[in-house]
Amino acid sequence: SQYILNLIKNIYFSYYNVLCTVPDDRVSSRRNLDIPEALDTLERCYRLLASARPIRTPLSASSNKSTPPHVLGRFLKRQVFDLIKYRITKLDHNLFDVIWPAVKKLPDNRNVVQIVEEDFPGGVTAPDYYVYEVFTEFMTPLIKDLHNININSDFPQHPISDFKKNSLLSESSQPLVEINIDSGDDFVLTGTMECSRNLSGFELPLNLKIGKLEFVERIITTVLMRDDFARIIEQLSPESDQKGGSYYTLNEILEKPSEICAALAATGVLISLCEREEIDDCNRLHGKQWPYGRGVFVSDDKTVAVWINVHDHLRVVTSTPADAPGEIGLTFSKLSCIMTYLHEKLDFVFDEKLGHLSSRPTFLGAGIRFSLIVNFPGLSKDIDNIKHLCAVRGLQYRETLSPDIARISNYQCLSITESNCFNDFVTATSNLLHLEKDVSMQNSAHITTMLSNIFRRKRSSLADIHDIEKFQAKTN
Tell me whether residue 315 is annotated as binding.
yes
| Three-state DSSP state, 278 | helix
Tell me whether residue 277 is annotated as binding.
no
Tell me whether residue 396 is annotated as binding.
yes
Check whether the bond before 257 is cis (ω within 30° of 0): yes
Task: Give the whole-angstrom CA distance, residue 70 versus residue 50.
Answer: 9
Count CB neighbours of 229 within 10 A.
Answer: 19
φ, ψ of residue 304 to 5 degrees: the values are -130, 130
Tell me whether residue 222 is annotated as binding.
no
- Give every CB contact of residue 77 below 8 A, 6+ residues apart in sequence: none
- Whether residue 33 contacts residue 85, with contact meaning beta carbons closer than 8 Å, is answered with yes
Tell me whether residue 242 is annotated as binding.
no
Tell me whether residue 73 is annotated as binding.
no
Please list the alpha-helical segments (H only) found in 245-319.
Answer: 250-254, 259-267, 282-286
Q: What strand order describes the sheet that includes 188-197?
A: 245-249, 295-299, 304-310, 312-319, 188-197, 368-375, 405-410, 395-399
Task: Give the whole-angstrom CA distance, residue 84 versus residue 77.
Answer: 11
3-state secondary structure 436-460: HHHHHHHCCHHHHHHHHHHHCCCCC
Tell me whether residue 389 is annotated as binding.
no
- Going by C-alpha positions, the residue among 65, 147, 167 that lies closest to residue 354 is 147
Tell me whether residue 292 is annotated as binding.
no
| Pairing assessment for the beta strands 245-249 and 350-351 based on DSSP bridges | unpaired
Tell me whether residue 5 is annotated as binding.
no
- Going by C-alpha positions, the residue among 336, 302, 298, 297 that lies closest to residue 313 is 297
Count CB neighbours of 274 within 10 A.
Answer: 21
- Going by C-alpha positions, the residue among 139, 147, 124 that lies closest to residue 83 is 139
Tell me whether residue 339 is annotated as binding.
no
Task: Give the whole-angstrom CA distance, residue 331 versus residue 319.
Answer: 7
- Whether residue 101 contacts residue 125, with contact meaning beta carbons closer than 8 Å, is answered with yes
Task: Give the whole-angstrom CA distance, residue 25 versus residue 14.
Answer: 17
Amino acid symbol at 425: F
Tell me whether residue 225 is annotated as binding.
no
Chain centroid to Cα 46, Å, comes to 24
Tell me whether residue 78 is annotated as binding.
no
Tell me whether residue 297 is annotated as binding.
no
Task: Give the whole-angstrom CA distance, residue 237 versus residue 23.
Answer: 55
Tell me whether residue 456 is annotated as binding.
no
Count CB neighbours of 112 within 10 A.
Answer: 19
Tell me whether residue 472 is annotated as binding.
no
Q: How many CA atoms are closer than 13 Å to the CA of 413, on its beta-carbon side? A: 29
Amino acid symbol at 2: Q
- Whether residue 414 contacts residue 147, with contact meaning beta carbons closer than 8 Å, is answered with yes
| Three-state DSSP state, 28 | strand
Which residues carry a binding-site annotation for ATP?
Answer: 190-194, 315, 369-373, 393-398
Which residues carry a binding-site annotation?
Answer: 190-194, 315, 369-373, 393-398
